[in-house]
Copies of this chain bind each other. A is one copy, B any other.
């Protein structure tokens, strides 16, 4: 296939609390150097090298984050930032991006990519995107599924159906159903069916395909997008965008569009080395530990003594972190917060954040 008319759309508006106390209201996960030198956002942009030129990479985000992103990845042109006036769910975001690209290029095909995930196998990722664009060329809304490696309750699942007719360069299936995050027992069952993938949040489609589905399933959003499209690039852009944005329903693209869409396909991907870096313990999947299983990142000064399988995320400055006789722990120096957490309890960080919210400890949020 040719990659002419293809675009990448990085979705980067989110917050998230499970990487607290490093991720904060004003410092979301994608802008943090969780991987060492680079932030997840920078890594996401770099992952697109040799597939999309910077001019064909678009970023949808909120005003406050755009400045920092531009500093982190200056190669992306400023005019490629599409600013959400306020968070209104991924259905709206995806619709806005498709509208902007469609106005620019009636044949636009787009890969919608989260800004805060990790993928180790860049070659396979490129190969899959190209394969997905081929499928999308036939009018499909395509998603990359991740072959489950354990019964995760942290992800939504997608069930595949019949193989898609046609000659594609990667096994491609119709989507049978989207499923919410399951409980432990259901996750066990889904893992063993063999026909369920994790929902990665990566989508590939033609702009007109998704806009048609929006018109069919979410006509209010479709109408708003038409009004926005009419003035996009004129002086009225910002006013009309704001005016129409406020009233939009806050729904995800999965729930609002994908679940009932007509032509949906999935490429189940094993071996991508994918992680949503959804909590501190995910870093053990992403970074290479030393021979004791320890990881020290964000240039932490870590002195490990009889310590195993322990992650130390340093703060700024030269604070020394000493561990003695510590196993299976995550230790995070968040400046005004120090967190010590058993690795297998890392998902409970969000409970702590809820607790602090409830008790109005704004300074730590």
Interface residues, chain A, CB within 8 Å of chain B? 21, 303, 305-306, 318-326, 329, 331, 333, 336-342, 344-346, 348-349, 351-352, 355-356, 361, 364
B contact residues around A348 at 8 Å (CB): 305-306, 324-325
Residue of B nearest to A347 (CB): B324
Complex: A351 Cα to B339 Cα, angstroms: 25
Instruction: Find out whether the CB atom of A321 lies under 8 angstroms from the CB atom of B340.
Output: yes
| Closest 7 pairs between A and B when the two form their complex, measured CB to CB | A325-B342, A325-B345, A324-B341, A322-B339, A320-B337, A321-B338, A323-B340
Which residue of chain B has the shortest Cβ distance to A310 in the bound complex? Answer: B340
Q: For A340, what are the chain B residues with a Cβ–Cβ distance below 8 Å?
A: 321-324, 326, 329, 331, 340
Contact between chains at A320 and B351 (CB < 8 Å): no
Please measure, in the bound complex, the distance between the C-alpha atom of A288 and the C-alpha atom of B204, giving whole angstroms: 60
Q: B352, A324: Cβ atoms under 8 Å?
A: yes
Which chain B positions have C-beta within 8 A of A344?
Answer: 325
A318 touches B303 (CB 8 A): no
Chain B residues with CB below 8 A from A326, complex form? 329, 340-342
Show 30 A/B contacts (Cβ-Cβ < 8 Å), sorted by A.
Answer: A303-B352, A303-B355, A303-B356, A305-B348, A305-B355, A306-B345, A306-B348, A318-B336, A319-B337, A319-B338, A320-B336, A321-B340, A322-B339, A322-B340, A322-B352, A323-B340, A323-B341, A324-B341, A324-B342, A324-B346, A324-B348, A325-B341, A325-B342, A325-B344, A325-B345, A326-B329, A326-B341, A331-B340, A338-B338, A340-B340
**Nearest chain B residue, comparing its CB with the CB of A307:** B340
With a CB–CB cut-off of 8 A, which chain B residues contact A323? 339-341
Interface centre among A333, A351, A356, A364 (most CB of B within 10 A): A364
Q: Are A319 and B336 in contact (CB under 8 A)?
A: yes
**For the complex, what is the distance from the CA of A346 to the CA of B21, rounded to whole Å?**
27
